[in-house]
Amino acid sequence: MDEADYFTFVRAGCLDEESFLQEFCCVPADDASAFLSYDLIASGEYHLDEKWETDLADAKGQLFLGVDVGREHDLTVIWAIERLGDTAYTRRIVEMKGQTFDAQEHALYQLLALPQVRRCCIDCTGIGRQFSERAQQRFGTYKVEPVNFTGPVKEELAYPVRAAFEDRTVRVPNRAEIRSDLRAIRKETTASGNIRFTADRGANGHSDRFWALALALHAGKSTGSLTPPVAWPHGGERQTARRERSVEA
């Protein structure tokens, strides 16, 4: 193996560019450009001796799901959190790459069928549109919310993730690929003054886990003023309350 091949081999083994630069090029981490610092992420991680993944059917609190949809290059990630008091505990992360939409829907529907699942927010951008529509048709508009990833919507989703870590109200597994995804998000300001959130695309995905977590936290937040349809005497239904704010799909 020559030097060029060894370089390629080593680079391919790293989850992201920053990890490669740190481990092999002695370039220190740049916390100034990262949306979440390593210390901030570590503050919300489960310890090695803690069991974070549980049987969701045994959950005592309400469950909320976030789904970032991918297919070939990006991952489809389903992130399940359980709300206990003010804290969102990660209970399940389903990661799929190159899976058929039938397989992805099967995995999601198994979770949506659980009575503890209160609400699910799904990335409906691009290929996620039909995915989210079919889930909404099957489980109802009060349980499934499509979210279109526009620039302003990404900003609305991203800041509560950082706030949750700062407030110590979110717990995530201490896995390298999760830490890499959370760390990879960068906040940039365009020439016109708009905020844009970006991430490099690599073997670890495109920060798909970050956005799945953001959607799960949003699902937990947006359900606060939502009540499912109530049956009325003549067989009709009406919504007793709606979300105070909604994300246009």
Residue 243 lies in a domain: no
Q: How many CB atoms lie within 10 A of CB 50?
A: 10
Residues 124 and 207 in one domain: yes
Q: Which SS3 state, helix, strand or coil, does residue 187 take?
A: strand
Residue 246 lies in a domain: no
Distant-in-sequence, close-in-space partners of 32: CB < 8 Å, separation ≥ 6: none
Mean predicted lDDT score pLDDT of the chain: 79
Higher pLDDT, residue 108 or 237: 108
Q: Which SS3 state, helix, strand or coil, does residue 15 take?
A: coil
Residue 69 lies in a domain: yes
| Parent domain of 89 | 31-238
pLDDT at 92: 97
pLDDT at 73: 63
- Position 11 confidence tier, pLDDT thresholds 50, 70, 90: very low
Q: Which of 41, 86, 104, 92 is nearest to 64 (CA)?
A: 92
Residue 245 lies in a domain: no
- Position 206 confidence tier, pLDDT thresholds 50, 70, 90: low
Domain count within the chain: 2
| Rounded Cα–Cα distance for residues 216 and 77 (Å) | 11
pLDDT at 3: 54
Q: Which SS3 state, helix, strand or coil, does residue 234 take?
A: coil
% the chain with pLDDT above 70: 71
Residues 84 and 21 in one domain: no
Tell me the mean pLDDT in the region 128-142: 94
Q: What is the DSSP letter of 30?
A: -
Residues 184 and 80 in one domain: yes
Tell me the mean pLDDT in the region 201-219: 82
pLDDT tens across 78-107, in order?
999 999 999 999 999 999 988 898 999 999
Q: What is the DSSP letter of 20?
A: H
Q: What is the pTM of this model?
A: 0.76
Residue 50 lies in a domain: yes
Given a cut of 60, whether residue 185 has pLDDT beyond it is: yes
- Can you read off the two tokens belonging to residue 130? 């039909």
Which range has the worst mean pLDDT, 141-155, 184-198, 222-236? 222-236
pLDDT at 90: 97
Residues 129 and 229 in one domain: yes
Residues 10 and 105 in one domain: no
Residues 93 and 18 in one domain: no
| Rounded Cα–Cα distance for residues 104 and 67 (Å) | 10
pLDDT at 122: 96
Residues 78 and 88 in one domain: yes
Residues 7 and 98 in one domain: no
pLDDT tens across 26-45, in order?
434 445 668 999 999 999 99
Cβ burial, residue 179 (10 Å; 0-12/13-18/19+): buried
| Rounded Cα–Cα distance for residues 12 and 238 (Å) | 54
Residues 71 and 185 in one domain: yes
Residues 19 and 95 in one domain: no
Given a cut of 90, whether residue 211 has pLDDT beyond it is: yes
pLDDT at 167: 97
Residues 56 and 137 in one domain: yes
Residues 83 and 72 in one domain: yes
Please state the three-class secondary structure of 67-128 as a single string: EECCCCCCCEEEEEEEEECCEEEEEEEEEECCCCHHHHHHHHHHHHCCCCEEEEEEECCCCH
